[in-house]
């Protein structure tokens, strides 16, 4: 795929805006053993259960870092567009380069959305590069760890997701055969009682249907597993409150995103209406976007998506702010092994981590994208002690699963 975004801006041109490049900041070019420069930034898209955007940063030290931005169209073009602001810079200056990209891309929407997701992929790759250059795991760059392994919850999909018994059977299978003790199922599935799905209002039979799914799953797994349920921003506050109250008698880990994400006041009212825990956060961006949700206690659990929300350090900032209110973190995650491991690396550095989501249990080749084996065992990810993220991309597997029209990474810088 031909992209020419790098030529749109001359990185050496004079700008009146705030510029955080090494040249304008007056940073010394010589740092002894840490005198390293970025030489290239490349992307490719892999067709998993989502179109994953993988990112590679190359350096003149022969070290290559891997990252991943949130899935979807447009991410590679934005990253190509930003490459001119990275080439020639020292990859160890992660925070400065992150803010440099935020500033340079401000006119294109760098406070949320696709631009932040693209910057997230670069930021993850910078942590992988820095860890390899300094010979430490990525978690060590973030202050060290609280735990050696991270709990993983499995996002489950039954054959007939509208049928409570089908969900219950899949829950039992995932617990008994795959070894998970944390699960999530979708609730925004057809009940057969809908009159108008556009108005977000649920009638009594619809709420009863959702409660039947919750009851069936919770009774099937009992105390062997925690069970959460996702609504994907589908309902009105009044319907959401009725749903939360209808499932209070069951052992629900959390109900996720019962209403649209934009209105913090409405979210607070819904969350505080019931003892059923409410999880929110995958559709807000950076620590600025999550601040009011946390400050106003409009959620019980926060669920940032690391390759989407701003990267590793930004996710840690969100977690630290949430911890001031004793709010736990359950990371949303629909990524390849690269983004998933980045999430796990951060999860091990924060005290309030509940779990990291795994969304690809039905994709037989998810783990094939990296050379390492057994990334998730019995619902846990062990954090590698290898430098950086601790994963090595299998370029043959990446090529096999690339989206048509994409170009494979260079194997070496």
- pLDDT tens readout for residues 298-357: 999 999 999 999 999 999 999 999 999 999 999 999 999 999 999 999 999 999 999 999
Q: Where in the chain is the domain with CATH 3.20.20.120?
A: 149-383
Per-residue pLDDT tens over the stretch 48-88:
999 999 999 999 999 999 999 999 889 999 999 999 999 99
Is the pLDDT at 30 greater than 90? The verdict is no
Tens-place pLDDT, residues 356-383: 999 999 999 999 999 999 999 999 999 9
Give CATH superfamily name and number for 5-135+396-401: Enolase-like, N-terminal domain (3.30.390.10)
Q: Is 79 exposed, middle or buried (0-12, 13-18, 19+ CB in 10 A)?
A: buried
CA distance 327 to 16: 41
pLDDT tens-place string over residues 215-272? 999 999 999 999 999 999 999 999 999 999 999 999 999 999 999 999 999 999 999 9
Report the C-alpha gap between 183 and 193 in whole angstroms: 26
CATH topology of domain 149-383: TIM Barrel (3.20.20)
Burial class of 97 by CB neighbour count within 10 A (0 to 12, 13 to 18, 19+): buried
**Partners of 229 in the β-ladder:** 185, 255
CA–CA dist 204, 186 (Å, integer): 19
Numbered ranges of CATH 3.30.390.10 in the chain: 5-135+396-401
Q: Is the pLDDT of residue 182 over 70?
A: yes
H helices within 222-327, ranges in order? 237-246, 264-271, 286-295, 306-309, 312-323
3-state secondary structure of 201: coil
Whole-number pLDDT of residue 21 = 81
> Considering only CA atoms, which of 132, 2, 6, 20 is closest in space to residue 67?
132
User: Does pLDDT of 278 surpass 70?
Assistant: yes
What is the distance, to the nearest Å, from the Cα of residue 366 to the centroid of all Cα atoms in its chain? 16
Which pTM does this prediction carry?
0.93
């Amino acid at each position: 795929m031909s992209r020419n975004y790098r030529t749109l801006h001359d990185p050496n041109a004079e700008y009146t805006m705030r510029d955080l490049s090494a040249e304008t900041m007056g940073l010394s070019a010589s740092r002894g053993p840490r005198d390293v420069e970025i030489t290239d930034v490349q992307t490719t898209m892999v067709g998993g259960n989502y179109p994953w955007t993988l990112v590679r940063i190359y350096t003149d030290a022969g070290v290559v870092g891997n990252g991943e931005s949130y899935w979807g169209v447009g991410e590679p073009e934005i990253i190509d567009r930003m490459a001119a602001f990275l080439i020639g810079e020292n990859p160890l200056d992660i925070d400065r380069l992150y803010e440099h990209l935020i500033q340079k891309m401000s006119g294109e929407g760098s406070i949320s959305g696709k631009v932040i997701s693209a910057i997230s992929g670069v930021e993850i790759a910078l942590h992988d590069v820095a860890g390899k250059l300094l010979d430490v795991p990525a978690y060590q760059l973030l202050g060290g760890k609280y735990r050696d392994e991270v709990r993983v919850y499995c996002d489950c999909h039954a054959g007939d997701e509208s049928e409570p018994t089908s969900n219950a059977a899949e829950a039992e299978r995932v617990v008994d055969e795959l070894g998970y003790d944390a699960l999530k199922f979708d609730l925004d599935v057809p009940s057969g009682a809908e009159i108008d799905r556009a108005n977000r209002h649920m009638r009594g039979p619809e709420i009863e249907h959702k409660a039947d799914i919750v009851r069936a799953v919770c009774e099937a797994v009992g105390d062997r597993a925690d069970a959460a349920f996702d609504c994907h921003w589908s309902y009105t506050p009044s319907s959401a409150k009725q749903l939360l109250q209808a499932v209070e008698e069951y052992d629900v880990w959390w109900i996720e995103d019962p209403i649209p994400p934009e209105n913090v006041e409405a979210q607070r009212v819904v969350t505080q209406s019931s003892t059923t825990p409410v999880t929110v956060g995958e559709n807000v961006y950076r620590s600025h976007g999550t601040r009011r949700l946390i400050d106003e206690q409009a959620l019980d659990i926060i669920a940032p998506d690391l390759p989407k929300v701003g990267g590793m350090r930004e996710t840690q900032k969100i977690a630290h702010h949430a911890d001031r209110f004793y709010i736990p973190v359950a990371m949303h995650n629909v990524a390849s092994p690269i983004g998933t491991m980045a999430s796990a690396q951060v999860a091990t550095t924060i005290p309030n981590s509940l779990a990291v989501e795994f969304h690809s249990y039905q994709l037989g080749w998810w783990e094939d994208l990296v050379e390492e084996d057994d990334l998730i065992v019995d619902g846990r990810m062990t954090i590698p002690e290898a430098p950086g993220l601790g994963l090595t991309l299998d370029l043959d597997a990446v090529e096999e699963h690339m989206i048509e029209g994409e170009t494979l990474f260079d194997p070496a810088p």
